[in-house]
C-alpha cells in the first residue's frame, strides 16, 4: 500500500507545438530554397549555352544588360585568390540554415531563410562543380546594372532574403512567429 500524499505532484507541461507546424514551415523553407536554386541554375545553364564569356547584351538599355563573366571571388570580385574559403563559408552557412529550418514557426521567416539558403546553395553549386576545379569553381554572373556589380539570381535571392530578415527583425517578429514584447525591450535599456 502506498501513500498518495507523498507522491510528487505532476508538473504542468508547456503546450506542445503541433508537429504539423514544424513540418509545414520546414517544407515552405525547403520549397523556396529549391525554387531559388533551380531558377538560378537554369539561368546559368542558359547563359553558358547562349553567350560567350565577356559578351554584353542590352536588355533594357541603358538600365539592364546581360554581361557574362565568371567570378572567382565574392561580391565585387573581392578575394579572388581565396575561392576555397568562400566554398567553406557557403557550406557552413547552408548547414546552419538547414539546422534553423527545423526550428522555424513563421511562414515569413521560412520564406526569408529559404531565399538565403537557395542563393547560397546556388553559388555553392558553382563553386563545387564549375571550372577550374572542385571547390574552387568560378560563379557565373550575368545581370548588370550601370555602375554596379555584375551578379546572378542566387545573389539576388540572398540579398532579398537578408532584406526580409532585417524587416522581420525590425518589426519584432521572432523565428517562432511571436512578436518581441515592447515591455521587455524597455527594461533592458
155 is catalytic: yes
Task: Write out pLDDT tens, residues 18-60.
Answer: 555 567 999 999 999 999 999 999 999 999 999 999 999 999 9
Q: What is the DSSP letter of 106?
A: -
Q: What percent of the chain has pLDDT over 70?
A: 78
**Its pTM surpasses 0.75:** yes
Task: Write out pLDDT tens, residues 160-183.
Answer: 999 999 999 999 999 988 898 754
Q: Which residues contact 136 (CB under 8 A, 6 or more apart)?
A: 72, 83, 84, 87, 127
**Out of 155, 176, 185, 188, which one is annotated catalytic?**
155
**Out of 81, 141, 176, 188, which one is annotated catalytic?**
141
Q: What is the mean pLDDT of the chain?
A: 86
141 is catalytic: yes
Task: Write out pLDDT tens, residues 71-116.
Answer: 886 665 565 666 678 788 889 999 999 999 999 999 999 999 999 9
Amino acid at each position: 500500500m502506498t501513500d498518495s500524499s507523498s507522491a510528487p505532484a505532476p508538473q504542468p507541461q508547456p503546450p506542445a507545438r503541433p508537429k504539423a507546424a514544424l513540418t509545414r514551415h520546414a517544407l515552405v523553407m525547403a520549397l523556396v530554397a529549391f525554387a531559388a536554386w533551380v531558377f538560378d541554375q537554369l539561368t546559368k545553364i542558359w547563359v553558358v549555352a547562349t553567350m560567350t564569356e565577356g559578351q554584353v547584351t542590352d536588355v533594357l538599355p541603358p538600365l539592364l544588360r546581360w554581361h557574362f563573366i565568371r567570378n572567382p571571388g565574392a561580391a565585387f570580385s573581392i578575394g579572388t585568390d581565396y575561392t576555397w574559403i568562400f566554398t567553406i563559408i557557403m557550406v557552413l552557412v547552408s548547414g546552419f540554415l538547414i539546422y534553423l529550418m527545423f526550428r522555424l514557426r513563421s511562414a515569413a521567416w521560412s520564406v526569408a531563410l529559404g531565399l538565403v539558403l537557395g542563393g547560397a546553395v546556388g553559388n555553392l553549386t558553382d563553386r563545387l562543380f564549375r571550372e577550374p576545379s572542385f571547390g574552387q569553381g568560378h560563379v557565373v554572373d550575368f545581370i548588370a546594372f550601370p555602375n554596379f556589380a555584375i551578379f546572378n539570381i542566387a545573389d539576388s535571392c540572398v540579398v532579398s532574403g537578408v532584406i526580409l530578415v532585417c524587416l522581420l527583425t525590425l518589426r519584432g517578429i521572432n523565428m517562432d512567429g511571436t512578436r518581441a514584447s515592447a515591455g521587455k525591450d524597455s527594461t533592458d535599456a
